Amino acid sequence: MASFEVKGGNKLNGEITPQGAKNEALQIICATLLTDQPMVIHNIPYIRDVNRLIELVQDMGVEVTKLKEGTYRFHAINVNLDYLASAQYQQKAASLRGSVMLLGPLLARFGRSRIPKPGGDKIGRRRLDTHFLGFQQLGAKFNYDIKTNIYDVDATQLKGTYMHLDEASVTGTANIIMTAVRAKGTTTLYHAACEPYIQQLCQMLVRMGAKIEGIGSNLLKIQGVDKLGGTEHTLLPDMIEIGSFIGLAAITGSELTIKDCRIDQLGLIPHMFQRLGIQMEFKKDDIYIPAQDHYEIDTFMDGSILTVADAPWPGFTPDLMSIVLVTATQAKGTVLVHQKMFESRLFFVDKLIDMGAQIILCDPHRATVNGLNKQIMLRGIRMTSPDIRAGVALLIAALSAEGTSIIDNIEQIDRGYQYIDQRLNALGAEIKRL
């Protein structure tokens, strides 16, 4: 198990470019299975989860060629479905939650698939009902073996239908879209997720020959087609990295420019950090964060304590709640952080309390942060990264703290952030990989 040794207290300075979006990459790589024509994908991040998925589709017979850093060509002309019965496939797919999105393209193109119960972050129960109920409504038949945790799926008679999703699941919506584009007839999908990553997937599928109406809304109409062709696609910059860098700049009092942000696709993210008192300037598609010795949390109009809550898009993304919480620890003022969508994502706050933060964990979903206004700095400690997002939040806390911190289990951070230690060291951080 690797660790980071982090010397805190340095002010960073310079420019940093966010990586390609991890969550979009997982969807897009799975979608390359929908066609026997070449697909060229740009801005793919070099991170553990994405690399594992690329390796997995290669094992299935997809020809993958690295054209240059971040650009790959995928050619799924000879997909070996027998590989799905192998112990190797079951082990690899079970360790990667994004592997569930292989189901939709395989069902759409080949009429059958199988998948083990996927893994992923330990951030609470994350059910797959939305995926499977959607497949069933399109005509798929499931058989689950409780002893092996394997789902076998027969989808030889896919047919378009009307469905109202029980939740606006991003991966569930993506999976159903990728299945419906080749089902017979018309699929109407209501209460669909409409994140920028879903919009990107839909726009790419349309370039491949799919017929999708309502892109960007929660009501999609999909007319099935017999065949899809190849195309090129460029991933968005990762909005979670962008938000992480904003919080990092504020808590360390650093002057940073975040390059090529696609600000038009960030939704509430800049606004929410501005409500924490963080100054920023938008220069074309760059976000400039000036060095700030202090930043003050806003209140509601009646003077009551600000609440930051997550919600499905276009609400505030749950993946940045841990960053908001850490950033607030050194602000002036108080904020209630309400993590509605996952029940265990706030369980890293005990480490922040050990570092000196003033936080009350009200329950598994809510924490009240009383900002220290940089009058008392956090102190370095030894801690363990529980998941990707909390791991980066702890890294940000360590960079702002007095003294040295050790963060164990950084494999979690590597799953979502490429070369994060090298990139931050180039700005003046002192992070050593042990």
Catalytic residue annotation = 121
Q: What number of residues does the chain have?
A: 434
Tokens coding 84: 């799905």
CA count, 13 A, side-chain hemisphere, 321: 30
Please, are residues 306 and 299 in contact by the beta-carbon 8 Å criterion? yes
Strand order in the sheet with 430-433: 382-384, 404-408, 3-7, 430-433
Please, are residues 346 and 325 in contact by the beta-carbon 8 Å criterion? yes
Distance CA 126, CA 88 (A): 24
Instruction: Report the b/e string of 93-125 with b at 16+ CB within 10 A.
Output: bbebbbbbbbbbbbbbbebebbbbbbebbebee
CA count, 13 A, side-chain hemisphere, 422: 5
- Say which amino acid occupies 271: H
Longest dimension (CA), the chain: 65
